[in-house]
Amino acid sequence: MGLFTRLFRRDGKVNKNVVQVAFAQLSEWVQTQFVEVVGQKQLSSECASFFGKLREWKRVVEPHVIVFEERSVLSLKGGELDATVQVLAMMKRLLMMIPVEEMEIRRVRQFLRVFGAYGEMVLHKVEGSEFGHNAAFLRQKQELEREDVHLLLDELTRLQMILREFEQMMSESGMQTVELLFEKVELLSEVKEQEKKFVTKFQEKNERLKFAQQKKKEKEQEVAQLKLDPGYDVLREVYEQRTMLSDEQEKCQDEVFLYFGKIKNVLQLYAQQQGGNELVERYVADPLLGFLDDSGLAISHVLDHLKTGLMAGKFSFPAEDVNVFMGYGDKLESAYLQRLQLNLLRVKRELEVVEGSMRNRYFLFKIQDAEYRVEHFVKQIERLQEELSLMQEELQQQQLHFEREKYVFEQTVKVTLGKEMVIIV
C-alpha cells in the first residue's frame, strides 16, 4: 500500500506507536482507517439493515399517499386542494429519495443529512396541514372509528425515530471522525496544490530576473566596448557641445515666449485700434517665428509707439495690461531685443554646424541605445526583485498554512483515533 512505519525514540526508548505516512499516501492511509472502522463496527450490515427499514417504511406509506392523492382530486377544490397536493407531492419526493440499491458507506452520512433535513421539513408541513388537524380528513366513513387516522403524521414521526437511531449508531462508530479526516485530506491537498502553483510562479519570475541580470551585464559590456573606440571621445565632445547649445537655444526661446506672452493683450488691442497690423498679428500668432523673421526688429518701433502713446494717454487699454507693459522698463528698448535676437540666431547657426559635424550618428545612436537598454534592465531588475520579495513573504505564509493544517490533522488523528502519526512531505 506504500505505507511505512518507523521507530521513533523518546528519552532513549523506542516508540513503536508513531506512524510516519508519506503525504502522497495520506488518502490511502485514511481509507485504511475507514476500512478498519467499517469492519470493527460491522457498518456494512448496519447500513443494510437501515436501508431495509427505510424501504419497509416506504412500502407502508406509499399506497396511502396514492389513495390520498386520488381522494383529494375527487373531494377537494380551490386552495384546500392546492395545499393538499403540495403536501402529497413532498411526500412522494421523500419516498423517491429512498435508494433502491445499496449505497456506498462513505455516502451514507451525506444521504442522512439531506434525507433527514427534508423528512423533518415534510413532517412540519404535514403537522400544519389538515392531515395534522383534522382526524377525518380524506377518510371514508367506515374509517372514522380507526385509531390511526393521522397516518401520515404517525409514519413521519416513526421515520424520524429510525433516522435518529441510525445517526446515533454512526456517531458512536467513529465514522464521523474518519469522514472528517477525509475532508482534511482534501483540504491539505488543496493547500499543497496552491503552494506548488505559487512555487512555480516564483521560480518562473526568478528565471526572468536571472535573464534580465544576464542581459544587463551583456549590454553593460557592449557599452564599455563601444566607448573604447577612438572616435568615441571626439563624438562625445561634439555631443556634449550639442547638448549645451540645445539647452541655450531652449532658454532663449523661452525668453521670447515669456516676453511677448506677457504683452500679448496690449499688442492685440493695439492691432485692433490700428485697424489691423500684419507685423503685430504675426507676433501674436507665433512670437518665436515672428521674432526670427523680423530681421530689422520692426517690432521695436511698435513698442516705442505704444509706450509713448500710453504715457500720453492716447490709448485707453485696461489698467492691468498697461501696468504689465510699462513694467518692462528697459526691456522695451530695442537694444534688449537686438541682443536677444542676435543670441538666438547665433545659437541656431552653431547648432547647425555641430549637427553637420555629427556624421557618424549611427555610432552615437548605437551607444545611446545600449545605454537605454542597460537602464531598461536596471528598472526591470528592481521591479522583479520587489515582486519576488513580496512573493517570498506570501510563499512563506502558504507554507505556514500547510504546516498548521498538517499539525491539526495529526492532532485530530491522535485525539479521535488514539494513534500517533506524522505526515512526511
Domain range annotation of the chain: 42-173, 233-370
Which range, of 201-210, 229-238, 283-292, averages the lowest pLDDT?
A: 229-238
CA–CA separation, 214 vs 219, rounded Å?
Answer: 9
Residue-level pLDDT at 105: 76
| pLDDT level of residue 1 (50, 70, 90 thresholds) | very low
Q: Which tens digit of pLDDT belongs to each residue from 299-311?
A: 888 888 888 888 8
Residue-level pLDDT at 331: 67
* Higher-scoring residue by pLDDT: 147, 179: 179
Residue-level pLDDT at 3: 34
| pLDDT level of residue 59 (50, 70, 90 thresholds) | very high
| pLDDT level of residue 178 (50, 70, 90 thresholds) | confident
Residues 6+ apart with CB under 8 A from 188: 23, 26, 402, 405, 406, 409, 423
Residue-level pLDDT at 143: 52
Across 54-63, average pLDDT: 93
Residue-averaged pLDDT of the chain: 82
Q: With a cut of 60, say whether residue 195 has pLDDT above it.
A: yes
Q: Which tens digit of pLDDT belongs to each residue from 287-345?
A: 889 888 888 888 888 888 888 888 888 888 888 888 888 877 566 677 888 888 899 99
Residue-level pLDDT at 9: 36
| pLDDT level of residue 18 (50, 70, 90 thresholds) | confident
CA–CA separation, 370 vs 220, rounded Å?
Answer: 8
Residue-level pLDDT at 92: 94
Segment holding 188, helix H or strand E: helix 175-226
Q: With a cut of 90, say whether residue 276 has pLDDT above it.
A: no
Q: Which tens digit of pLDDT belongs to each residue from 69-125?
A: 888 888 778 888 888 889 899 999 999 999 988 777 778 888 888 999 999 999 999
**Grid coordinates of 340:** 536677444
Q: Kindly tell me the number of DSSP H helices and DSSP E strands found in the chain.
A: 15, 4
Residues 6+ apart with CB under 8 A from 370: 219, 222, 223, 226
Residue-level pLDDT at 213: 92
Q: With a cut of 50, say whether residue 156 has pLDDT above it.
A: yes
CA–CA separation, 291 vs 259, rounded Å?
Answer: 11
Neighbour tally for 8: CB within 10 Å: 15
